[in-house]
Amino acid sequence: MPKYKLNVNNKNYNVTVEAGTPLLWVLRDNLNLTGTKYSCGEGLCGSCTIHIDGKAERSCIVSVEEAVDKKITTIEGLAENPDHPIFKTWIELEVSQCGYCQPGQIMTLAAMLDSDSRPSRKEIDNTMSTVLCRCGTYHRIRKAIDKIVEEKQ
């Protein structure tokens, strides 16, 4: 059985799983980092979004071997800084309803803002429209993003 060395939230882990195991399940079941959520398993919803070398990726369609030697950040890692403007604004505007999609929303947005602190509306639309929310919090996500982007300027 192959062993993989992973770096998650700046910690090193060794996991023993079959090649091809989606990173999502390694994070959730092997490392007990359950903030990364499973919803579609097909890259269609964004609930499982994490950062790999700073880029937003869907952990349900990234295999464990693809993540070796990369820097992985999950929502738990981002939450090490609870004062991140996204968290503060999310709480201030009470964006979350059931909350299940929110780690994915936040990780997707965080990666976008890291790469471009003043994204255009079109860029925001394109990026955020790939992350689904069944509770329908989009309206507040938009308000929150507008606020974050405005305050950055």
Q: Look at residue 9 and give its three-state secondary structure.
A: coil
Task: Find which of ligand FES, another protein, none residue 79 binds, CB within 5 to 8 Å per kind.
Answer: another protein
User: Residue 78 or residue 106: which is nearer to ligand FES going by CB?
Assistant: 106
Rg (CA), the chain: 15
List the one residue from 53, 98, 115, 126 that touches ligand FES (CB under 6 A).
Answer: 98
Q: Which of 50, 52, 60, 65 lies closest to 17, judged by CA?
A: 65
> What is the dihedral sign for C-alpha 108, 109, 114, 116?
positive
CB 152 within 8 A of CB 118: yes
Calculate the CA dihedral of residues 110, 100, 27, 144 and round it to 10 degrees: 10
Q: Least CB distance from residue 26 to another protein, whole Å? A: 8
Ranges within 51-80 binding another protein (CB under 8 A): 74-76, 79
Q: Look at residue 43 and give its three-state secondary structure.
A: coil
Task: Verify binding: residue 41, ligand FES, rule CB under 6 A.
Answer: yes
Task: Verify binding: residue 40, ligand FES, rule CB under 6 A.
Answer: yes
Q: Point out which residues bind another protein (CB under 8 A).
A: 1, 17-18, 21-22, 25, 28-30, 32-42, 44-45, 47, 74-76, 79, 82, 87-88, 90-92, 94-103, 106, 125-126, 128-142
